[in-house]
Chain A
Amino acid sequence: MISLKEVSKKFSTKQGTIIAVDDVNLQIEQGEIFGIIGYSGAGKSTLIRLLNGLEKPTSGKIIVNNEDITSINEDKLRQIRHKVSMIFQHFNLLWSRTIAENIAFPLEIAGMPKEQRAARVKELLELVGLDGRGNYYPSQLSGGQKQRVGIARALANRPEVLLCDEATSALDPETTDSILDLLVSINEKLGLTIVLITHEMQVIQKICNRVAVMEGGRVVEEGDVLEVFQNPQQPITKRFVSQVSESSQAKQTIQNLVDLYPNGKLIKLVFVGEQTEQPILSRLIKQFDLEVNIVQGNISHTKSGAFGTLILQLDGEALAIDEGIRFIHEQKVHTEVINND
């Protein structure tokens, strides 16, 4: 559906050249929800704007829907933008138009006759749960409702790709959830490919199939969301994963236990899918002479399955602890010792 080959984007400023996107290769499949996560300044905003030609790459190839958008003219690019639409962090609605007129705007641009526009707008208002609000102005809506209008507007010309530029970053957690649910439902209902950028791991966890982690303009890690959660490689990815799997309160508890039991060992177990159903803990306690203390437990649900973390304190003979850890390893549960380094 979308492929990027050795794509770079440089900006020249008075302070010198800034490399916003640095040699990025990506392959995004039809119908998937692909997330790009990174802190601000990582280049993700520029990257997503390369996908609909709002920014032109300095080098590299971008293929969208079998069309090389780096080599086509403006007319053709405008046609492609009907099929690759975008929603924004700050919604970017026209305040001078009603909700219905905002949604009709891309239809006007595409040259749809007036009667057909009205019918299509009605359909879209229902799809995003705003029926009856057509005559309101954007200033009369809440943030979540505005984003629903943004989504309806983006879907108007029946696109094949939806680009989401920090679409939930300006919304409160509850509204974020409802917008994410809406995105998942249109992804399933319409078979739409969704590419989203965010700095919130919760968003990736909740709706993405695959994720790319960006830092300094580069994609430093990429893969299925579940795999990345289970086994993050880069320090930045670990930081993002810990955003959702460890609360700061739990970290405090760990510190307390480290202080209380300087001789014990704290280990972190990561379970994926069916592993969560095996009685590993009770076997561990029965087979080895160990005191086992559960410090923290957590199960996160991602779009492709559940994954859990468990932090245990093992106390006892050093030999027994080592054997216990080896036992857990044999159960193919990812294990990590987090103190007494």
Chain B
Amino acid sequence: MINSLFPNVDWPKMWDATLETLYMTSVSTLLTFVLGLALGLLLFLTSPHQAWANKFANWLTGAAVNIFRSIPFIILIILLIPLTKLLVGTMRGPNAAFPALVIGAAPFYARMVLIGLREIDKGVLEAAKSMGAKTWTIIWKVLLPESMPALVSGITVTCIALVGYTAMAGIIGAGGLGTLAFLDGFQRSREDVTLVATVLILVVVFIIQWIGDIITSKIDKR
């Protein structure tokens, strides 16, 4: 039945591509979370009146974030080919996509982290200071927990963007559902392959959004 509806779909191959997409998305989301959080905290803490207030550091971080956020992802992949070869040693396979995915997504996430941190009530930060808290204590026990719903909904959005980025990373041979839809589906005029790959990507996106929403509402005690 299923085979007659989608005659050209190679199901084991489709499944492998799905796993590749999930692998690339989850690892790059994790790395983006760490790097983006660090950049976002740096942007926040170096801004005026904050613990590490420093005009130059703030300008430099802000400039780096804006530049990498502005480069279209497809161009970023090409620009990063030398760096990828240096870091991963190859241009083939899912691992080769990570440098471009993380460098493309982390500045995007850093901006969302900054927005989340700025929403924290200044009075709460003042209260922590008045209790004699060190800056690191404030980071771990005030800044991160108090902005957690924003950090989680931000990483959900970023994760979904990364699903799209992994599809584009197909042009450097990264694999996954995007590559399958483009090479096996579009270029060989097999519409059923494109359709199935698209539906699978949609399912992945919906599941990510669903999980993100559940976590956000669970941790928000406001």
Contacts and interface: CB of A to CB of B under 8 A. Distances in A.
Interface of A: 52, 54, 77-82, 85-86, 88, 90, 92-97, 105-106, 108-110, 137-139, 153, 157
B146 A109 contact: no
B130 A109 contact: no
A83 to B, nearest CB: 9
Interface in B200-222: 219, 221-222
Contacts of A110: 132
B132 A78 contact: yes
A68 B142 CA distance: 29
Contacts of A153: 131
A92 B145 contact: no
Nearest to B121: A92
Given A105-B131, A108-B141, A95 B222 contact: yes
Contacts of A92: 121, 123-124, 126-127
Contact of B123 (A77, A88, A96): A88
B34 interface: no
B134 interface: yes
Contacts of B128: 105, 109
Contacts of B22: none
B interface bracket (residues with beta carbon within 8 Å of A): 20 to 34
B47 to A, nearest CB: 17
B221 A96 contact: yes
B145 A97 contact: yes
Contacts of B121: 90, 92
B130 A86 contact: yes
Given A95-B222, A109-B137, A139-B221, A52 B145 contact: no
Contacts of A80: 132
B222 A94 contact: no
Contacts, number: 65
B142 A54 contact: no
Given A92-B121, A97-B145, A54 B131 contact: no
Interface in B109-157: 121, 123-124, 126-134, 137, 141-142, 145-146, 148
Contact of A109 (B132, B148, B219): B132
B146 A96 contact: yes
A138 B221 CA distance: 8
A126 B128 CA distance: 23
28 contacts: A52-B130, A54-B126, A54-B129, A78-B134, A80-B132, A82-B132, A85-B130, A85-B131, A88-B126, A92-B127, A94-B142, A94-B145, A95-B146, A95-B222, A96-B145, A96-B146, A96-B219, A97-B145, A105-B128, A105-B141, A109-B131, A109-B133, A109-B134, A109-B137, A110-B132, A138-B221, A139-B221, A157-B131
A266 B141 CA distance: 63
B129 to A, nearest CB: 6
Given A95-B146, A109-B137, A139-B222, A88 B127 contact: yes
A54 B131 CA distance: 10
Contacts of B133: 78, 109
Contacts of A137: 221
Nearest to B131: A106
A52 B132 CA distance: 10
A93 B221 CA distance: 12
Nearest to A79: B132
Contacts of B141: 105, 108
B131 A81 contact: yes
A137 B221 CA distance: 7
B132 A94 contact: no
Contacts of A54: 126, 129-130
A95 B221 CA distance: 6
A77 B132 CA distance: 8
Q: Which 3 A-B pairs have the closest CB atoms?
A: A81-B132, A92-B127, A78-B132
A218 to B, nearest CB: 25
A157 B121 CA distance: 24
A2 to B, nearest CB: 16
Contacts of A81: 129-132
Contacts of A106: 131-132
A93 B121 CA distance: 10
A97 B133 CA distance: 16
Nearest to B142: A94
- Give the residue among A86, A94, A110 with the most B Cβ atoms within 10 A: A94
B205 to A, nearest CB: 29
Contacts of A138: 221
